[in-house]
Amino acid sequence: MRLCALALAMLCVATAAKAETGYDLWLRYTPVEAAYKSQYGVSALVTGASSPALDAARAELNRGLSGMLGAAPVPAANVTVDGALVIGTPASSSIVAGLNLPLKGLGGEGYLIRNVTITGRKGTVIAANSDVGVLYGAFAYLRLIQSRQPITDVMSAPRTRIRILNHWDNLDGSVERGYAGASIFNWHTLPEYVSPRYIDYARANASIGINGMTPNNVNARAESLSPAYIEKAAALAGALRPYGIRLYLSVRWSAPVEISKLKTADPLDPAVKQWWQAKAAEIYKAIPDFGGFLVKANSEGEPGPQDYHRTHADGANMIADVLKPYGGVVMWRAFVYANDPKLDRATAAYKEFVPLDGQFRDNVVVQVKNGPIDFMPREPFSPLFAAMPRTSLMLELQITKEYLGQQTHLVYLGPLFEETLRADTYAHGPGSTIARITDGSLDNHAISGVAGVANIGNDMDWSGSIFNQANWYVFGRMAWDTEISARTVAEEWARQTFTADPAFVTPTVDMMMASREAVVDYMTPLGLHHIMTNGNHMGPAPWDEKGPRDDWKAVYYHRAAADGVGVDRVASGHAAQYKSPLKERFSRAATTPEEYLLWFHRLPWDYRTKSGRTLWDEMVAHYRRGVDSVARMQAGWAAQKPYVDAERFSQVVSFLAIQHREAIWWRDACLAYFAQFSGQPFPPGYAPKYPLETYKAMPMFASPPP
Q: Which residues are catalytic?
A: 300, 374, 402
Q: State yes or no: residue 498 binds ligand BDP (CB under 6 A).
A: no
Tell me whether residue 150 or residue 548 sits nearer to ligand BDP (CB atom).
548
- CB 305: neighbour CB atoms within 10 A? 23
Tell me whether residue 250 or residue 465 sits nearer to ligand BDP (CB atom).
250
- CB 513: neighbour CB atoms within 10 A? 18
Q: Is 393 in contact with 365 (CB distance < 8 Å)?
A: yes
Rg (CA), the chain: 26
Q: Is 213 in contact with 245 (CB distance < 8 Å)?
A: yes
Phi, psi (degrees; rounded to nearest 5) at 656: -65, -35
Query: x/- site string to ligand BDP, residues 420 to 459, per CB under 6 A?
Result: ----------------------------------------
Q: State yes or no: residue 375 binds ligand BDP (CB under 6 A).
A: yes
Tell me whether residue 43 or residue 219 sits nearer to ligand BDP (CB atom).
219
> Within positions 272 to 301, which residues make up the interface with ligand BDP, using CB under 6 A?
296
CB of 374 to ligand BDP, least distance (A): 5
Q: Is 449 in contact with 394 (CB distance < 8 Å)?
A: yes
CB of 653 to ligand BDP, least distance (A): 30
Tell me whether residue 141 or residue 375 sits nearer to ligand BDP (CB atom).
375
CB of 204 to ligand BDP, least distance (A): 24
Q: Which of 325, 295, 286, 301 is CA-nearest to residue 313?
A: 295
- Give the nearest residue (CB) to ligand BDP: 374
Tell me whether residue 537 or residue 608 sits nearer to ligand BDP (CB atom).
537
- Strand-pair category, 329-333 with 292-295: parallel
Q: Is 636 in contact with 507 (CB distance < 8 Å)?
A: yes
Sheet hosting strand 84-88, strand order edge to edge: 74-76, 44-46, 84-88, 121-128, 111-118, 154-156
Q: Cα–Cα distance between 402 and 242 in angstroms, integer? A: 32
Tell me whether residue 318 or residue 404 sits nearer to ligand BDP (CB atom).
404
> Within positions 686 to 705, which residues make up the interface with ligand BDP, using CB under 6 A?
none
Tell me whether residue 266 or residue 551 sits nearer to ligand BDP (CB atom).
551
- Strand-pair category, 449-453 with 162-166: parallel
CB of 336 to ligand BDP, least distance (A): 10
- Position among 219, 533, 614, 694 found at the interface with ligand BDP (CB under 6 A): 219
DSSP 252-308: -TTHHHHHH--S---TT-HHHHHHHHHHHHHHHHH-TT--EEEE--SSTT---GGGG
Q: State yes or no: residue 386 binds ligand BDP (CB under 6 A).
A: no
Q: State yes or no: residue 218 binds ligand BDP (CB under 6 A).
A: yes
Phi, psi (degrees; rounded to nearest 5) at 116: -135, 170
CB of 398 to ligand BDP, least distance (A): 7
- Position among 229, 335, 412, 543 found at the interface with ligand BDP (CB under 6 A): 335
CB of 526 to ligand BDP, least distance (A): 22
Q: What DSSP designation does 159 have?
A: S
Distance of CA 153 to the CA centre of its chain: 29
CB of 311 to ligand BDP, least distance (A): 19
> Within positions 401 to 420, which residues make up the interface with ligand BDP, using CB under 6 A?
402
Tell me whether residue 240 or residue 451 sits nearer to ligand BDP (CB atom).
451
> Within positions 142 to 181, which residues make up the interface with ligand BDP, using CB under 6 A?
176-177
Q: Which residues pair with 329 in a beta bridge?
A: 292
Q: Which of 220, 251, 248, 239 is CA-nearest to residue 326?
A: 248
Q: Cα–Cα distance between 286 and 278 in angstroms, integer? A: 13
Q: Cα–Cα distance between 670 and 554 in angstroms, integer? A: 12
CB of 301 to ligand BDP, least distance (A): 10
CB of 482 to ligand BDP, least distance (A): 22
Tell me whether residue 60 or residue 374 sits nearer to ligand BDP (CB atom).
374
CB of 296 to ligand BDP, least distance (A): 5
CB of 382 to ligand BDP, least distance (A): 13
Q: State yes or no: residue 374 binds ligand BDP (CB under 6 A).
A: yes
Q: What DSSP designation does 608 have?
A: B
Sort residue 284 into left (φ over 0), alpha (ψ -120 to 50) or beta.
Answer: alpha
Tell me whether residue 148 or residue 401 sits nearer to ligand BDP (CB atom).
401
Tell me whether residue 50 or residue 536 sits nearer to ligand BDP (CB atom).
536
DSSP 382-447: PGGGGT-TTSEEEEEEE-S-TTTTTTTS----HHHHHHHHH-B--BTBTT-BHHHHHTSTTTT-S-
Q: State yes or no: residue 323 binds ligand BDP (CB under 6 A).
A: no
Q: Which of 236, 238, 241, 194 is CA-nearest to residue 215?
A: 236
Q: Classify residue 516 as exposed, middle or buried by CB count within 10 Å of its CB (0-12, 13-18, 19+).
A: buried
- What are the angstrom distances between the C-alpha of 699 and each of 76, 180, 632, 671, 695? 64, 22, 28, 19, 9
Count of residues that interact with ligand BDP, criterion CB under 6 A = 9
DSSP 535-604: TT--SB-TT---SSSGGGSTHHHH--BTTBBS--TTTTSSGGGSPTTHHHHHHSGGGS-GGGHHHH--B-
Q: Interface residues with ligand BDP (CB under 6 A)?
A: 176-177, 218-219, 296, 335, 374-375, 402
